[in-house]
Every structure is written in structure tokens, then in C-alpha cells.
Amino acid sequence: MNCFYASVEMAYNPELKGKPLAIAGNPEERKGIIVTSSYEARAKGVKTTMPLWQAKKLCPELIVMRPNFDRYRAASKEIFKMLSEITPHVQPVSIDEGYMDLTDIEHDGNPIDVATNLQKRIVDELDLPSSIGIGPNKFLAKMASDMKKPLGITVLRKRELPHILWPMPIEKMYGVGKKTGEKLNKLEINTIGDLAKKDVYELKQVLGINGERLKNRANGMDTRTVDPDAVHEFKSIGSSQTLSHDTTDEKEIRNLMHQLSDNVERRMKRKKAAGRSIQVMIRYYDHTTITRSKKLNTYIETKEDILQVANELLQKHWNLEPIRLLGITLQDVEEKKNIGEQLNLFTYEQRAKKENLYIAMDALSAKYGKNTFKQLTNSEDEEQLKTSFQKDFLDDYKR
């Protein structure tokens, strides 16, 4: 999707169209960082992750709106529904991006026709612009999708790599971040073509197995499949927050730890999951960041258990310097249905009392299917999920 958050706001309020618009956090707090902006704002130099004060200096007429993640999630859900009507082979990778495998629907039209019709439908029904890349594998499709924005449709074939892909700067290659780009530059790799021709041994000396992987992709090779179930492979669920000011105030820090633990518990309930490692992230006033974790003997899921371990880690590893950001993550996460229940002295009697109920439920499930019973959840859980950077909602379009 093109400038997704800004585009959703423009679709919601057409008066914003054609104006420089930025989505950012609270302007009065340090979270005033540009999340995304319209093309009109980008033309003035406004960029993602730019501090709000800097963006306003470049573009004084900039319209700033706080994120409305419920609105963005609703739009995302409708988009992925459209994709799934074309093929069941859809893999969401973020709120505004995903892959489709069209191999099995070639008899229904060529991929360019499918892309053209899909793009038009998203505009007609949701008033949102998108760019679509078509290629023989994930990497080439992804690279193609970035080549023409907004409302672009680009086909990238392997035979076209030498004159389309290889001349591009190495920093433009998907999978090459700032640090990797710097390492490649030191090896005199400045374009994707340079990477494609580089000796794999040299690359592995600097980047390990990722060096070989990047070289293969530069040559148009990518064996990853479009996996609709990949969205379920979450191994950690966490929450972090930047404080409005650097602080050593223990009450303020304690309140934030409670809030973060509550966020993690709510998301664990939503996914019907539990985890057995806790990680705490502390970012200090000078941006120095540490992460410390503890492996547990049993799976946990409640706020109380999460908070207890997180507080232990904080007390042990906080050097009492002013804190800028805190994060709590529950790791080694598994869905409860995959976790064998461990009965103990205090719970086995309760389980025994319900045994007849469990037998009846098993019998009904065998007769009517495994989805006969559904656990009721607090409707407030949906209302309180406020961040788009989580990925555990990306299968909502199937519901």
C-alpha cells in the first residue's frame, strides 16, 4: 500500500487529499516521530522516522495527525479479504503489505490482469492506492513493488536483472539495511550487480550465511514459498514505550512496568498463548540499550507472573541512570493447545471435577468438528489493542 496510514486518513476525510499530511505521535512528547507521510509532504523533504520539529521546519504547512490504528487495521482487513478471494495462497507480512502466489490461478487470467483488477478494486471500494510487483519469486516481486509508486504495476523477470536490478544502489536492495550496506561498501560493493558477481566466500567472511543468501537474491534466486500460516509463527509477544522525558522516578517506572505487563497479558489472551522466557529492554537517556532475559521452568501468561519476573530483571540490571524507553517481551511463546498441561498438587482436584465436562466436549468436537467450542473473550481486548507494529492480528481477515 502507498503511504498507507496517510492514505487511509485521506479516504476517511477527502479534504486532506492533495495536502502535505503526516501521521505522528503526540507532538508535545518525544514520541513525535513521523510514522508516514503523504507524497505532498515527502516532496518537501519529510521522511519516516524524522522528528516532528524537523518535519515542520521543512514543511511549515504540514498537517499532523495522531495514528488511528483501529482505522488502519479495519482497512487492512478489507484489503486482505480481497486478496484471499483471488487465491488462498496469501501471506500477510505487515499491516499494509503481503504476498500472493498466483501459480494455481493462471487459467483465470494472466498476473498482470489480476494485478490491474485488484488495484482498481482497492481504489474503487476503499479509495486507497497500492503498488504491485510481479515476479517468479518473493524477492523479485518485492523489489518490483517498490519500483513504481503510487499506483504502479511492475513485472521483474530474471532475464531483465542485468539492466533493471543490477544498476540499482546496494542500499535499495530489500534485505540490506544501513549496517549491512556499510559492510558491503567496504568490500567495494556499491550496486546490486556488484553483489551478484562478488565471491561468495568473501561475503560469508563478512556477513556469514546471510552473505550467500543476499548474493543468491541479487541473482534472482529465492526459494521461499508464500506461506499463509507464517503469520501464526509468532515466538514472542511484547510491548514497549518511550517515556515523555528521561526519568529515574521509581513510581513512574513502576507504573509503566504495570502498563506494559498488562499489554502483554492482553495480547497473550487474544492469541490464547503462553510463554516461558521474559525479556526486559532498557534504553537510557544516551540511547544506550540493554536487553536482559530469564528462562522459566513453566509457561506463564498472566500480568502478575509477567510483571514479577520483569521487575526482578529491572531491579537487577538497571544502573539507576535516567531511562528513556522500557520494553517487556514474553518469549518462547506457544499456543495453549500445543502446550501439555502440567497438573500440580493445587490444580488436579479442579481438573478432576471437570473431567465429565471435558469428555462431553471431546465427544461433541468429534461429532461436529474441532471448532465447535470457542472461548469467549473480553470485547475490550479489541478496543485496547493500539499498535500496528504487532503482527498477531494479521489473520483477522479470515474471520
Longest dimension (CA), the chain: 71
Locate 34 and state its grid cell.
513521523
Residue 113, annotated as binding a ligand:
no
Q: Which is catalytic among the residues 15, 85, 97, 301? A: 97
| AA letter at 65 | M
Closest Cα to residue 27, out of 48, 5, 55?
55
135 SS3 class: coil
SS3 call for 24: strand
Distance CA 132, CA 152 (A): 6
Cis peptide bond upstream of 167, omega within 30: no
Q: Which amino acid type is present at position 77?
A: K
Answer for the pair 115, 134: CB distance below 8 angstroms, yes or no. Answer: yes
Q: Which residues face 22 on adjacent strands?
A: 37, 64
User: What sections of 272-392 are H helices per DSSP?
Assistant: 303-317, 348-353, 355-368, 380-384
Cα Rg of the chain (Å, integer): 24
Contacts 24+ apart (CB under 8 A), 38-47: 38/3, 38/6, 38/7, 38/10, 39/2, 39/3, 39/150, 41/6, 44/20, 46/20, 46/22
Q: Which of 237, 276, 244, 283 is nearest to 260 (CA)?
A: 237
Is 212 marked active-site? no
CB neighbour list of residue 110: distance below 8 Å, 6 or more residues apart: none
What is the residue type of 124?
Answer: D
Which residues pair with residue 142 across a beta bridge? none
**Adjacent-strand bridge partners of 283:** 289, 325
Residues at the binding site are: 96
Residues at the binding site for Mg(2+) are: 96
By annotation, the residues acting in catalysis are: 97
